[in-house]
Amino acid sequence: MTEQVCNPMHRPSHRRLRTRQRSFNGDDAVYIPHIISQIQQAEAASEASLRFESLLASLSTTFIKTPVPDIERQIEVGLQRVVEYFALDCGVLSELLDETTTPRVRYWYSMPGVAVPPGLLSLNKFFPWYASQLTQGNNVGCAHIDELPAEAGADRQYWLCSGLQSFLAIPLPVDGVVVYVLSVATLCSEYTWTRELIVRLQLIGDLFVSALMRKLNQEKLEKHLLLETLVADLSTVFTKAPASNVDTEIEDALRYVAECFGVDQNFLLEFSADHMALSTTYGYVVSRDSHISPSKICIDQELPWFTDQLLRGELVRFHRLDELPVEAALAKEAWLKRGIKSALIVPVSVSNTTICAFGVAAFRTEIDWPPTWILFLRLIGEILANALARKRAEEVSSRLWHELTHAARIAMLGELTASMAHELNQPLAGILNNAQAAHRLLAMESPDLVETREALLDSIADDQRAGKIVQLLRALGKKGVVERTPLNFNTLVQQVIRLVQSNMFEKQVTLSLDLAMDLPTVYGDPVQMQQVVLNLMLNAFDAMQHRTRCPRVLAIRTAHEASTAITVSFQDTGIGVNETTMRNMFAAFFTTKAEGMGMGLAISRTIVEAHGGRIWARPNADCGTTVCFTLPVSCEVAV
């Protein structure tokens, strides 16, 4: 307070006090009544001063105690107190966004029945003098509109129309730049703006501004914290997200980012293969405005300037479209068409190569992008780009694995050509025999219709048998999508046996089946599972190929444990495997066969594990090996 007393704006009253002291110390005490009147005036002034100081103290205490979210309301309350205290009609605190546009009225108060006149609200082209005075830091005011200087002619015209009597506008600078304006006015009576009053209003205005600054700083800090938390959250999410979830995680992240930054839309742009164009891979648009469709975010045309800028590692940042250089005309037009007012787009590099760009944009208001956001956007862009790169890599590897599995299946089917031909020719031969027999039977004088009917029924049965084999072969040969259906392994094992039967006879292998009753259903891809069973059977045949002394027996067993898992085991009487082979047999490219690729068991393991199961091998007590796999019995993966 003492400081404020020394403020030059208090100078007039000081001067007056000094004058009074001098005349008091003077020789002649003739003008006593005059002195009394002077004393009375001084007392009145001192009382007014006291009253004002108590208002100021009260306001300042209020603002100190007011938590940030309440500051705006308290400013409005403060304006009301000011208007009432100084017996004015209205008070406005507005923010100058810049000199050419209308100031944004942040807070105002007007006495009941009094409308805030437009002159106090707008600084547009109708009030050029007023605007220039304020931006230069000069107070503007008049007791009556007619007192305005000649150069304010244009302004005056409009003020006259607005019904203003007296007004005062005080610019309130922040760091040397006029940001806020406190304006007060009367509409019905003239008001004399004494220096004292101006100083007092200025003090109150400073109080408002300092409270607002506190609020802004606090908000800025909170925003910064929020963005830091956002980056931390996103990096945690994407570190944990499996490749299959990356899509949804990115979409969620974009919504989260838009909320945290308070922007209307954000997007991840990817360069085309030739780096000529950019396309939107992921985007989010706030849906509060239903007329904004997500297609707005698509940058689907070639914008050379924009692409070049980002490829050079430069960011694209504009507060208003006008700020864009001439060479960006095409981009400007594209954005204008999409209603974009402000945008900030940063290039994102992964291992020193710009692979995409991340950006935020606004279409409802213009946003002057804070410099700190660039860093945050770069960080977020990198997190998203890394996740995307990981997802792409996993997609490629998954596709290759799928192809390899298919190739292995086809190779396995190749081994079964003889068996398959036999299995198909058998029913075909039966059908032909039956048809020919029926033909002969009918040609007889008294045809044996019962026998003919039997022949036809057998043909149907044979045909169905052939059909099933063709179906199985087609399924194994196709390169379809992986599906999950309920599977009964007893049926599945028997289907595969049918396929390898002749192969088995040829290799003189005897099969011993021990299929569990009430085997629970498991969920899985039928083709992949047949592939596993086929692979394990063919491996067993190979293992027994060079066994001449002891019988070649393959024992296949299905079993279940407490209804939680099923086990399928393949026990052979083959040559067995050594410890090294036992350890490595499920690894890719490990083989003991001259023509083997070493992929069969590796693929089987991948398939079993992808179904939540486990596969292992153990030596038998006497001779040969047993390979087992388990699969969980669960309904949760049911499609």
Partner 1 sequence: MNIADAVVFVVDDDTLFRRSMERLLSSVGYPVETFVSAWEFLQREPPTGPACLILDVQMPEVNGLALQELLAGAERLMPIIFLTGYGTVPISVKALKAGAADFLQKPCTDQVLLDTIDRALLQAQQAWCEHAKQTTVQQYLKTLTTREREVLALVVTGMLNKQVADALGMSEKTVKVHRGRIMKKMHAVSLAELVRLADQGGITP
Q: Which is nearer to partner 1, 17 or 432 (CB)?
A: 432
Pick the binder of partner 1 from 275, 440, 453, 474 (CB under 8 A). 440
Q: Which is nearer to partner 1, 115 or 418 (CB)?
A: 418
Q: Which is nearer to partner 1, 502 or 535 (CB)?
A: 502
Tokens of 243: 């490749």
- For partner 1, which stretch binds (CB under 8 A), given 85-93, 336-344, 458-466, 607-615? 458-466
Which residues have C-beta within 8 Å of that of residue 557, sequence separation ≥ 6?
Answer: 513, 514, 515, 516, 567, 568, 569, 571
Q: Which is nearer to partner 1, 19 or 512 (CB)?
A: 512
- For partner 1, which stretch binds (CB under 8 A), given 118-126, 180-188, 364-372, 457-465? 457-465
Q: Note whether 44 binds partner 1 by CB under 8 A.
A: no
Nearest to 171 by CA among 126, 147, 136: 136
Gap between the Cα atoms of 240 and 305, Å rounded: 37
Dihedral sign for Cα atoms in the order 410, 413, 414, 415: positive
- For partner 1, which stretch binds (CB under 8 A), given 127-135, 374-382, 404-412, 449-457? 449-457
Looking at beta carbons, which pairs linking 27-32 to residues 24 or more positions away fall under 8 Å? none
Gap between the Cα atoms of 60 and 3, Å rounded: 15
Q: Which is nearer to partner 1, 412 or 519 (CB)?
A: 412
Question: At closest approach, how far in Å is the CB of 501 from partner 1?
Answer: 8
Pick the binder of partner 1 from 17, 39, 432, 470 (CB under 8 A). 432
Question: At closest approach, how far in Å is the CB of 394 from partner 1?
Answer: 43
HSE at residue 523, side-chain half, CA atoms within 13 A, is: 12
Q: Say if CB 465 and CB 427 are below 8 A apart.
A: yes
Q: Which is nearer to partner 1, 44 or 428 (CB)?
A: 428
Q: Which is nearer to partner 1, 104 or 440 (CB)?
A: 440
Scan residues 503-562 and list those touching partner 1 (CB under 8 A).
504-506, 508, 510
Q: Which is nearer to partner 1, 177 or 456 (CB)?
A: 456
Gap between the Cα atoms of 124 and 433, Å rounded: 102
Question: At closest approach, how far in Å is the CB of 626 from partner 1?
Answer: 23
Scan residues 271-330 and list those touching partner 1 (CB under 8 A).
none
Scan residues 412-431 and list those touching partner 1 (CB under 8 A).
417-419, 421-431
Pick the binder of partner 1 from 82, 170, 187, 455 (CB under 8 A). 455
Q: Which is nearer to partner 1, 194 or 508 (CB)?
A: 508
Q: Say if CB 174 and CB 193 are below 8 A apart.
A: no
Question: At closest approach, how far in Å is the CB of 416 from partner 1?
Answer: 11
Question: At closest approach, how far in Å is the CB of 542 from partner 1?
Answer: 18
Binding-site residue total for partner 1 (CB under 8 A)?
34
In a 3-state reduction of DSSP, which class is residue 83?
helix
- For partner 1, which stretch binds (CB under 8 A), given 8-16, 21-29, 344-352, 497-505? 497-505
Q: Which is nearer to partner 1, 44 or 418 (CB)?
A: 418
- For partner 1, which stretch binds (CB under 8 A), given 73-81, 211-219, 486-494, 498-506? 498-506
**How does DSSP assign 397-412, residue by residue?**
HHHHHHHHHHHHHHHH
Q: Note whether 573 binds partner 1 by CB under 8 A.
A: no
Phi, psi of 102 (to 5 degrees): -65, 135
Q: Note whether 451 binds partner 1 by CB under 8 A.
A: yes
Q: Note whether 461 binds partner 1 by CB under 8 A.
A: yes
Question: At closest approach, how far in Å is the CB of 508 from partner 1?
Answer: 8
Q: Say if CB 93 and CB 169 are below 8 A apart.
A: no
Pick the binder of partner 1 from 441, 475, 516, 628 (CB under 8 A). 441
Gap between the Cα atoms of 123 and 157, Å rounded: 14
Q: Which is nearer to partner 1, 389 or 424 (CB)?
A: 424
In a 3-state reduction of DSSP, which class is residue 357?
strand
Which residues have C-beta within 8 Å of that of residue 136, sequence separation ≥ 6?
Answer: none
Q: Say if CB 258 and CB 264 are below 8 A apart.
A: yes
Q: Where are the beta strands (DSSP E) in 444-601?
A: 485-487, 510-515, 522-524, 553-561, 565-571
Greatest extent of the chain over all pairs of C-alpha atoms, in Å: 168
Q: Which is nearer to partner 1, 295 or 436 (CB)?
A: 436
Q: Which is nearer to partner 1, 243 or 437 (CB)?
A: 437
Q: Residue 607 gets which letter from DSSP?
A: H
Question: At closest approach, how far in Å is the CB of 601 from partner 1?
Answer: 27
Pick the binder of partner 1 from 296, 317, 465, 547 (CB under 8 A). 465
Question: Length of the chain in residues, anyone?
Answer: 639
Pick the binder of partner 1 from 245, 354, 433, 567 (CB under 8 A). 433
Q: Where are the beta strands (DSSP E) in 175-273?
A: 177-186, 265-271
SS (H, E, C) 153-198: HHHHHHHHHHCCCEEEEEEEEECCEEEEEEEEEECCCCCCCCHHHH
Question: At closest approach, how far in Å is the CB of 432 from partner 1?
Answer: 4
HSE at residue 57, side-chain half, CA atoms within 13 A, is: 8
The residues that touch partner 1, with contacts defined as CB under 8 A, are 417-419, 421-434, 436-437, 440-441, 451, 454-455, 458, 461-462, 465, 502, 504-506, 508, 510
